[in-house]
Amino acid sequence: MRRRSPRRLLGVLAAATVAFGLFSAGPAAGAAVPASTAAARPADTAARPLSTSTPVVFVHGYTGSASNWVTAMSVFRLNGWSGSDLFAYEYNSYGDNVANAQGLASFVNNVKARTGASKVAIVNHSMGGLVSQYYLKVLGGHSSVSHLASIAGANHGTTYAGACLIYTTCRQMYPGSSFIDRITSGDETPGSTRYATWYSACDGIILPYTSTRLSGATNNNVLCQTHIGYLADTVVLGRIARFVAS
């Protein structure tokens, strides 16, 4: 069902496939800059051989879609992945992120069954961070995820969500919500999953921009990148591919 309100609210942020860019309008489906780091788990381990056999599940942001990941998938293929191991999860941007996380759990299980892999890697953008964090932390998904890469994730919320509070997902994305409290209380990076985030002061949508950082993750401060710009940033996407392969 078409929803016009968010697109009017987001104005200039509307693009061909990404409006708010935080976070895919649509039902669940599958489809095959210098940075400083500070965290307990290193993002790049040069001494380790790289592995590109782990399936990757991409999770878009608010009003996004699988098409947001065309460039990312191309970068991952250039870094050694087979296209048959790259998947995009789509969810209802206007519904409930608890249901979206449950859908992600089912999607991951289907990917594991399809590929025969014991674990997948997750790469998310914006509100996809909330969906992913709920899956890993609350639903126990960390046991099925080897790497979690959060690109400008709304992991601790964003005040920009105040523009669309008529929707449950936006209320959940607002700082201080019970949803945010649930995924940030205690250990933010549970299990043996390796976590990394990429964030920038130039984001403009994640407010404050430091909201993306996760305690216990490798948090990469990108010199200057806009919220939507990450989706076409082949340099950052290449670093994310190498992180997932490490």
Instruction: Please say whether the beta carbons of 104 and 60 come within 8 A.
Output: no
Mean pLDDT of the chain: 86
Please name the helix (run of DSSP H) or strand (run of DSSP E) that holds residue 141, with its range, or none. none
Answer positive or negative: Cα dihedral of 100, 106, 111, 114: negative
Go through 172-210 and write b for each residue having 16 or more CB atoms within 10 A of its CB, e for each that does not.
bbbbebebbeebbeeebbbbebbbbbbbbeebbbbbebe
Q: Which residue has the higher pLDDT, 38 or 209?
A: 209
Residues 190, 186: Cα–Cα separation, whole Å: 9
Tally the residues of the chain: 246
Residue 23 is which amino acid? F
pLDDT class for 50, splitting at 50, 70, 90? low
pLDDT for 189-238, tens place per residue?
999 999 999 999 999 999 999 999 999 999 999 999 999 999 999 999 99
Give the C-alpha separation, 108 to 105, whole Å: 5
pTM of the model: 0.82
Cα distance between residue 107 and residue 121, in whole Å = 12
End-to-end CA, the chain: 41
Does pLDDT of 39 surpass 80?
A: no
Please check the confidence at residue 34 and state whether its pLDDT lies above 50: no
Looking at residue 135, its amino acid is Y
Reported as a single tens digit per residue, the pLDDT across 131-146 is 999 999 999 999 999 9
